[in-house]
Structure 1
Amino acid sequence: MTALILGLILFLGTHSVRIVAGGWRDARVAAIGEGAWKGLYSLASLAGLVLIVWGFGLARAAPLELWQPPAWGRHAASLFTLLSFVLIVAAYVPRSRIRALVGHPMVAGVKLWAFAHLLSNGSLADLVLFGAFLAWSIVAFAALRRRDRAAGAKRGAGALGNDLTSVVLGVLAWFVFALYLHGPLIGVRPFA
């Protein structure tokens, strides 16, 4: 569990620097340059991700079950993860109405993904991993929306075609991941 927690601190901490210490981050970027900052940021994030994957695998080897998820939890998780994939794709599709409406679809997608997994899993490791991502995404989403309001950020109306692209690619990515990749990569087949 130690590796999982350290990985979460490193990964989510790295992704929280702009939220909790924006001025410090800006000073570091000014001192070392944008490229060097992104390189260090990426290395720290990758190290955190490796620790999360490794630590979660270790914790799953001897799970401590805290609760039995409800039978409907798997169905709800499927729906919420499908929506999360659409939101995550929408974060990368320019001028989509989904992006304009949500504001930060990547963070909203992470929020849905984490919530979905808490509905369908009941071990301590699940609570630590998905609970941490859910808590982070709630705080990050609120902070980003506050920052947008303070900056007077305006979002364009977006185009329906770009929404369609987000939905089609999101559903396709979800389908491939859920049916073909989740089992080999994560060790759990959601539809088995």
Structure 2
Amino acid sequence: MGTVLLAAGVLLWSAAHLFKRLQPAKRAELGDTGRLYATVAIFASILLMVLGYRWADPVWLWPRAGWMIHLNNLLVFVAFYMFAVSGLKTSLARRIRHPQLTGFKAWAVAHLLVAGSVQGVILFGGLLAWAVVSVIVINRANRDWTRPPEAAIWREGVALVAAVFLMLVVGIIHGWVGPWPFGGGA
């Protein structure tokens, strides 16, 4: 049952996010009601993914080596940095068209490394597939990309500090609700 809920959550997440891109006229027709539907669907998908992941009996596909935890943490840090880059419109945002989706893909790959179970593949592999498809769909719909203006160098420093802060806060919360992400037990 858990695996079914997990897969349903990943599919609902994907559908809620891709609806605007695949059905822009229908989404525009719905207006604010469409935004409300999407928000409810996204929250429902997260609930389904969390419950499904917790309730699924783990079927292990590969063991987790100690070095994988360190690579996972590096990739998660890159993911947080890419989110900060997007929000702050740093100079790196001029070179990467989709910094948030790039960060999301780094996060998903990181978790695939350390969650070597069937439910890990469904969750993180499914979300990785969604992010890849999203980039393709967005690029096909909007072939012309206007790069953001040049940004002050201090923004890169702020993005770096924000990524460190987020890594620590989310890591602590992760340790409360799941496995301790920084290795060394707990």
> Alignment partner for residue 160 of structure 2, among 143, 149, 167?
167
Whole-angstrom CA distance in 2 between matches of 1:32 and 1:17: 12
Give the aligned partner of residue 25 of structure 1. Answer: 24
Give the aligned partner of residue 15 of structure 1. Answer: 17
- AA aligned to 1:169 is A
- AA aligned to 2:51 is W
> Alignment partner for residue 188 of structure 1, among 170, 179, 185?
179
Segments of 4+ moved more than 6 angstroms? none
Aligned positions of 1:101-140 closer than 5 A: 101-140=95-134
What is the number of equivalent residue pairs in this alignment? 181
Q: CA deviation at 1:117?
A: 0.8
CA contact (8 A) 1:114 1:131 kept: yes
Whole-angstrom CA distance in 1 between matches of 2:6 and 2:54: 9
Say if 1:68 and 1:152 are closer, same or farther in 2 by CA, change over 3 A: closer
Return 5+ residue gaps in structure 2 as ranges. none
Give the aligned partner of residue 170 of structure 2. Answer: 177
Aligned positions of 1:35-184 closer than 5 A: 35-59=32-56, 62-93=57-88, 95-148=89-142, 150-178=143-171, 180-184=172-176
TM-score for both structures, normalised by structure 1: 0.86
Q: Deviations over 1:116-136 (max 9, x none)?
A: 011122111111101011111
Say if 1:162 and 1:26 are closer, same or farther in 2 by CA, change over 3 A: farther
TM-score for both structures, normalised by structure 2: 0.89
Q: Deviations over 1:80-101 (max 9, x none)?
A: 00111111122222x3112222
Whole-angstrom CA distance in 2 between matches of 1:145 and 1:168: 30
Return 5+ residue gaps in structure 1 as ranges. none
Same amino acid, percent of matched pairs: 27
Say if 1:119 and 1:152 are closer, same or farther in 2 by CA, change over 3 A: closer
Q: CA deviation at 1:37?
A: 1.7
Q: CA deviation at 1:164?
A: 1.6
